[in-house]
Amino acid sequence: ASLFAQVEMAPRDPILGLNEQFNADTNPNKVNLGVGVYTDEQGKLPLLKCVAAAEKQLLEAPKARGYLPIDGIAAYDKAVQSLVFGADHAAVKGGRIATAQAIGGTGGLKLGADFLKRLNPDAQVLISDPSWENHRALFESAGFTVGTYPYYDAAAKGINVDGMLSTLKAAPAGTIVLLHACCHNPTGYDLTEAQWNEVIAITKERGLVPFLDMAYQGFGNGIAEDGAVVIKFLDAGLSFFVSTSFSKSFSLYGERVGALSIVSETADESARVLSQLKRVIRTNYSNPPTHGAQVVATVLTTPALRQLWEEELAQMRDRIKLMRTALVDNLKAAGITQDLGFITRQKGMFSYSGLNAAQMQRLRSEFGIYGVDSGRICVAALNDGNIKAVSQAIAKVSQ
Ligand code: PMP
C-alpha cells in the first residue's frame, strides 16, 4: 500500500471553507459576511496610510535581513508591551512581563498553549461557549482537554453571566481560562466592568490561569477602553497570559503580526519564563519574520504615524458602529418588527444575528449572502452599497 493510503480527508475549515464557496459563486450581488475582515465603504480591504508611510520609510533605508532574535524585534516587543500594559505601569517598569513577537494572534495563542503544556500538562482548558473555532483546536493540538464555560444566552440576547461565573467557581485550581479581552468572537457581547471584577475575584480565589485573547483592540470602544481589562488583571496582581493580534487593527492580515505576553510575579521569574518561552519558539519556527513587526514597531514608536494609526483605527471603529445603526434601520424598513437593540449593544466586527443554520443557508443559496451557520455575520463588511439588499434578504428568510 502507498504511504498515504490511510490518510483521510480532513473537514474543511468552516470559515475559510465558506470563503472558497464565496469565491466560486457567480452571483454578481454576492456579499461576504463570513470571514472576519474589515472592508471600507467601497468594500475594499484598506491599506492604512500609517502602514504605507512606515513601509515607504523602511524602503528608503533598505536593510539586509539577518535572523531576528528568537523572541523577535526588541523595539517591537517593547512597543507592544507599552501599548497593552502601559509604558509606566509598575509591572512593565519592574520587568515582570515577558513579551515575544508571534506569528499573528494565532501564533501567540499557540506559543502560550505549548508553554502551558510544559508547565502544567494535566491542566484543563476552558473556553467560552461559543468561541472562535480555532481556540479549541489550538489547545487540543497542544495536548490539552478543552471544555467550555457558558457564555451566550440566546433568549436574553446577551451573556449567561451566572452560568459563566458558577462554572469558573467550580473549576479546579490551575484551570486555564481563555477569555476574550474585548469584542467577543463570535457573539459581539462583552462583559461589563462589574462582571469582569467578578471574574477576576473568582480567578484569584480559585487559582485559575487567565489567558486573555486580544485580537480586536481598538475595534470596540477605543484602544485604552478595550485594553482596560488587561490593566484590571494586572492591578489585581495576577499572573496571566495575553495574546495580541495586529491583523485587524493594522489591516495587516497577511503579515502575521502578533505577540504573546506573560505576566509574572517577579522580574527573576519573568527572566526564567522568557527563557522557556524562547525554547518553545526555537523548536517551532526558530525565530519570527521581519517585515510586519518592523512596520508595526515603526508606526507605534513614531509619534506622527502613531497618531495617524489611532485616527485610522477610530475611523474603522466608527464605521462599524455606523453600520450597526444602519443595519437596525434597514431591517426595520424591510419589515422586521422584533427588538433589534442587541445589534448596537454588540461590540467589534461581528453580530450574532440570532438567525438559525437553515436561514443562513437560505441567505447563501437564494441571495449570495455568506455568513456563518451559527448566525454570525461580519458587520465590518457591510457598506452603503450592500446593506439594503442584506437587510431585505434577512427579512425574507426571517418570515
Ligand atoms: N483570536 C480571535 C478571537 C480571533 O478572532 C482571531 C482572528 N480571527 C485570532 C485570535 C487570530 O488572529 P490572527 O489572524 O492574528 O492570527
φ, ψ (nearest 5 deg) of residue 352: -80, 110
pLDDT digits (tens, 9 = 90+) for 361-386: 999 999 999 999 999 999 999 999 99
321 CB burial (10 A radius; 0-12, 13-18, 19+): middle
Predicted confidence at residue 53, as pLDDT, reads: 98
- Ligand 1 neighbourhood includes 36 CB (under 6 angstroms): yes
177, pLDDT greater than 90: yes
Predicted confidence at residue 65, as pLDDT, reads: 94
CA of 157 to the centre of ligand 1 (A): 24
399, pLDDT greater than 90: no
174, pLDDT greater than 90: yes
Confidence of residue 14 (pLDDT cuts 50, 70, 90): confident
Predicted confidence at residue 41, as pLDDT, reads: 96
Task: Specify whether 132 is catalytic.
Answer: yes
Threshold 0.90, pTM exceeds:
yes
290, pLDDT greater than 90: yes
Predicted confidence at residue 106, as pLDDT, reads: 98
φ, ψ (nearest 5 deg) of residue 190: -110, 150
- Ligand 1 neighbourhood includes 112 CB (under 6 angstroms): no
pLDDT digits (tens, 9 = 90+) for 24-82: 999 999 999 999 999 999 999 999 999 999 999 999 999 999 999 999 999 999 999 99
Predicted confidence at residue 12, as pLDDT, reads: 83
CA dihedral (293, 294, 298, 301) in degrees, to 10, reads: 60
Q: Quick count: other Cβ atoms within 10 Å of Cβ 307?
A: 12
pLDDT digits (tens, 9 = 90+) for 232-267: 999 999 999 999 999 999 999 999 999 999 999 999
Q: Locate the ligand 1 atom nearest the alpha carbon of residue 104 and give its number.
A: 15
15, pLDDT greater than 90: no
Task: Specify whether 309 is catalytic.
Answer: no
Q: Name the one residue in this structure whose C-alpha cell is 449572502.
A: 369
Q: What DSSP string describes 262-303?
A: EE-SSHHHHHHHHHHHHHHHHHHTSS--SHHHHHHHHHHHSH
176, pLDDT greater than 90: yes
Calculate what percentage of the chain has a pLDDT beyond 70: 100
- Ligand 1 neighbourhood includes 348 CB (under 6 angstroms): no
Cα(284)–Cα(293) distance, integer angstroms: 18
Predicted confidence at residue 108, as pLDDT, reads: 98
ipTM of the complex: 0.99
In a 3-state reduction of DSSP, which class is residue 151? coil
CA of 36 to the centre of ligand 1 (A): 9
Predicted confidence at residue 331, as pLDDT, reads: 97
pLDDT digits (tens, 9 = 90+) for 189-243: 999 999 999 999 999 999 999 999 999 999 999 999 999 999 999 999 999 999 9
- Ligand 1 neighbourhood includes 106 CB (under 6 angstroms): yes
285, pLDDT greater than 90: yes
Predicted confidence at residue 13, as pLDDT, reads: 82
Instruction: Note the residue count of the chain.
Output: 399
From 247, 252, 372, give the residue whose CB has the most ligand 1 atoms within 8 Å, as the site to mutate: 247
Q: How far apart are the first and last CA of the chain?
A: 54
Beta bridge partners, 147, equal: 126
- Catalytic option among 71, 248, 309, 347: 248
CA of 387 to the centre of ligand 1 (A): 25
pLDDT digits (tens, 9 = 90+) for 98-138: 999 999 999 999 999 999 999 999 999 999 999 999 999 99
